[in-house]
Chains A and B, each alone.
Chain A
Amino acid sequence: MESFSFKYPATKNISQRAHIGVVGSGDLEILISPSEIDQTEFVIRTASDGFKQTWKAVFDRFTALNDFKAVITINDFGATPGVVSLRLAQVIEIANQN
């Protein structure tokens, strides 16, 4: 079990909190909450140790395309980078629904 966080500058608001994903092997849960601070903060708790750089690469790519003031909390059970990216896209879509 490993925990870490990453912060990226951000400017846009999200509409609402959202929660997606499942507690299950190869998957993850994501909770996104609006933030007052001008940043996207990722807080990760993962069952698979030793992948901090892989996470950073996924978030670098995500924040290059998405700019949201939010705290994104991730509870990971060994999801692949492909699953993480899809789940991030999914949670952003729900967080921006009216």
Chain B
Amino acid sequence: MELSAHDLLKIKAAEDLQTDTPLPDWAIKSLKLAPYVVVRRADTKNGLIPVGIRGSQRGQRIAAWVQAENVTEVITPYRLTNPDCWKVNYDKNPPEAVYSLKQLISVFEKTALNWGPTGSTAFELASGVKTLKDSSDLDLVIQVPNPLSQKDAQALLKKLRKLATVQLDVQLLTPVGGVSLAEFVGAETVLVKTKSGPLLSKISELWI
């Protein structure tokens, strides 16, 4: 099973998770409501998958590990650009983040880029548990295996921002690691999130 950071995993129960310290009440409650965890950007440990549990509050995050056989479903960000894969039905008024996600589909249709939502939007669409507020951001990842120019990145960001009605947080997945699109468009040196921790890299060295 090939997994990547940001993939959502459905697990059977909270007991299937291994943690360094006992799970706090909010985590147990959250898993009961929606038994999903998100793959963290870290190496596997003795064959265990590094995952994170999120609560309803900002800052409620905890690291855990899970065995592959306890995972019952894998939902990648890339699947969630297809409304047929959503486990939630909205009548006429989806939350702003979901409305924005739908708006952005047309931008990416004209590119060859693999992209999708992460964060709270992905969590709601994959689990069917409605937790989004109209003030929720929209987090996205875009796979960029080949060099992207700052000019093209700027044009893309402009199009996305024009159509989105919420704050966008877009991460480019380069061969070195994850880079913020907002930083990439205007900086020579960017912060890269890698499996072994964050590092600074010149943008010219992201695709070497």
Contact = CB atoms under 8 A, between A and B. Distances in A.
Interface residues of A, number: 20
Nearest to B199: A86
A50 to B, nearest CB: 8
A48 B169 CA distance: 17
Nearest to A89: B200
A32 B183 CA distance: 17
B47 interface: no
B198 A86 contact: yes
Contacts of A90: 189, 191, 200
Interface in B169-208: 169, 171, 180, 182-183, 187, 189, 191, 193, 197-200
Identify whether the interface residues of A are mostly helix, strand, loop, or mixed. loop
A49 B197 CA distance: 23
B200 to A, nearest CB: 6
Chain B interface size, as a band, is 10 to 19
Given A83-B198, A86-B191, A86-B198, A25 B169 contact: yes
Interface string B145-177: 000000000000000000000010101000000
Contacts of A9: none
A74 to B, nearest CB: 14
Interface in A68-90: 78, 80, 82-83, 86-87, 89-90
B119 interface: yes
A24 B191 CA distance: 12
B183 A78 contact: no
Contacts of B199: 86
Contacts of B22: none
Contacts of A86: 191, 198-200
Interface string A19-45: 011111111000000000000000000
B51 to A, nearest CB: 16
A47 B58 contact: yes
B191 A49 contact: no
11 contacts: A22-B180, A22-B182, A23-B169, A25-B169, A27-B191, A83-B191, A86-B198, A86-B199, A89-B200, A90-B189, A90-B191
Interface of A: 20-27, 47-50, 78, 80, 82-83, 86-87, 89-90
Given A21-B183, A48-B58, A90-B189, 7 more contacts: A21-B191, A22-B182, A22-B183, A24-B169, A24-B180, A25-B137, A83-B198
